[in-house]
Amino acid sequence: MKANYHAHTWRCKHAEGTEKEYVEAAIAHGFAIYGFSDHTPYPALAGEKAGIVRMQPEQLEDYVDTVLALRDEYKDDIEIHLGLEAEYYPAYWEDLMKLIEPYPIEYLLLGQHFIGLEDVTHEKSGRPTEDETALARYVGQVEEGLSTGKYTYLAHPDLLNYVGPAEIFDRHYRGLVRFCKDRKIPLEINMLGLWKGRNYPNRAFWKIAGEEQAPCIIGMDTHIPDNVYQEREVAIAHEWVREFHLPLMETVELVKP
């Protein structure tokens, strides 16, 4: 792999190690590009209001300073980028943009871990469901978020764990795939989900992506330095790329939020 844009830090409270360990591991594994994209703080979701653990607003400056310092320190060895993984919550979106505006954030990844508002609905996207409306709402919220033009790519696009009829799965997810393809928004094959045996990445989803020839990229979704590169999982991803004839991208063009 040449690049990874999906990596977290200890600030989200479910990742381990130091940023320096991640960078040195990335160099050791031959990465040319490494992007940090920790879970964004949301002013409305500070403290215990958040449905997932995430960076707090007062930690954002330190996060930025740390990544920028590493970018300078390792400039001769690797290209480091500063990003955030951010759900799309329309009610809180303006406040998020105001929070990050003073900082040189280079890109956002859309990872929609909740449907609706995480502190109101508490509907996690990864919970198994046979409810078609849940899948439709997930797809609608993701498409609305991507329509802001602020996101570089869609992380774990198949996160919504729909376990109902295959034709319903196909109809809604194919619509999302086509939406992304039309706007040249890459879809991420997520290695953390593969490593942990989660519902994503979902073979049925990637079969659709191949049929639609939607661009994709491999994302490590790193939470510990030892998983900066996961050889077995990346090999499986490449098998899927060949099997489903997926247009695999090595790098992406960053979209500044």
The phi and psi torsions of 222 (rounded to 5 degrees) equal -75, 135
Nearest CA among 132, 131, 134, 94 for reference residue 116: 134
Residue 204 scores a pLDDT above 80: yes
pLDDT of residue 173: 98
φ, ψ for residue 188 (rounded to 5)? -95, 130
The structural architecture, per CATH, of the domain 3-244 is: Alpha-Beta Barrel (3.20)
Residues 69-128: pLDDT tens digits? Answer: 999 999 999 999 999 999 999 999 999 999 999 999 999 999 999 999 888 878 898 899
Q: Quote the pTM value.
A: 0.96
47 band by pLDDT with thresholds 50, 70 and 90: confident
What confidence score (pLDDT) does residue 119 get?
A: 83
Rounded CA gap, 65 and 82, in Å? 10
Q: List all residues 6 or more positions away from 177 whose beta carbon is below 8 Å from its beta carbon.
A: 157, 187, 205, 208, 209, 212, 214
